[in-house]
């Protein structure tokens, strides 16, 4: 199935010069949504993953489904101030600004094998921030999963992520 045809591109969003990849058009199509969840789940099913860590907000949509399919727990990484207990915080740069994400300090432990999932890999800033948070919790192993990877964007951040097994369903 050509999943690219289900992803809408919105020019100049959220700022001038950005071509935003909108996965909501993919998610609303049952067969496309199922194909994405099935591909990611199949790729990681036999890796011993105990927790799927997913990023707010679009990452939650597929991350939770993948966690269910591979019989793993689900751990949210949220925007600053959204989690109710003690958190670790990481600030990072986006293509168009600065943001901050958090994870509960008791979300993971040294026995966890973690799949970090998000909807899109562009510059790698968000994924790297998530990696820094997860590494502070001393987990056993880390993998990455994305719906879309903008391979034409080459950054130092993405090179650091390349040392981890990464799977993306759609590449641009």
Domains and CATH numbers, the chain: 46-171 (3.40.50.2020)
pLDDT in tens, 69-88: 999 999 999 999 999 999 99
Give the pLDDT of residue 95: 67
Catalytic residue among 58, 78, 90, 93: 58
Catalytic residue among 29, 35, 93, 95: 95
95 is catalytic: yes
pLDDT in tens, 48-73: 999 999 999 999 999 999 999 999 99
Share above pLDDT 70 across residues of the chain, in percent, rounded to a whole number: 99
CA Rg, the chain, in Å? 15
Indicate the pTM of the whole model. Answer: 0.96
47 is catalytic: no
Q: Which of 23, 16, 13 is nearest to 172 (CA)?
A: 23
- The alpha carbon dihedral of 67, 69, 70, 71 has a sign of positive
- Angle at alpha carbon of residue 101, lines to 127 and 83, rounded to 5°: 135
């Amino acid at each position: 199935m050509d999943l690219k045809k289900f992803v809408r591109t919105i020019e100049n969003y959220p700022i001038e010069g950005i071509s935003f990849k909108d996965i909501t058009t993919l998610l609303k199509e049952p067969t496309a949504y199922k194909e994405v969840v099935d591909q990611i789940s199949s790729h990681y099913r036999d890796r011993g993953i105990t927790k799927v860590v997913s990023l707010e907000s679009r990452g939650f949509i597929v991350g939770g489904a993948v966690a269910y399919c591979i019989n793993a727990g689900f751990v949210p990484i949220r925007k600053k101030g959204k989690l109710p207990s003690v958190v670790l915080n990481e600030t990072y740069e986006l293509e168009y600004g600065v943001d901050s994400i958090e994870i509960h300090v008791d979300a993971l432990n040294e026995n966890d094998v973690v799949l970090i999932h998000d909807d899109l890999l562009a510059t790698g800033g968000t994924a790297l921030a998530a990696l820094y948070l997860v590494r502070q919790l001393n987990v056993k192993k880390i993998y990455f999963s994305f719906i879309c990877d903008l391979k034409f964007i080459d950054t130092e951040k993405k090179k650091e992520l390349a040392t981890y097994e990464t799977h993306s369903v759609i590449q641009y």
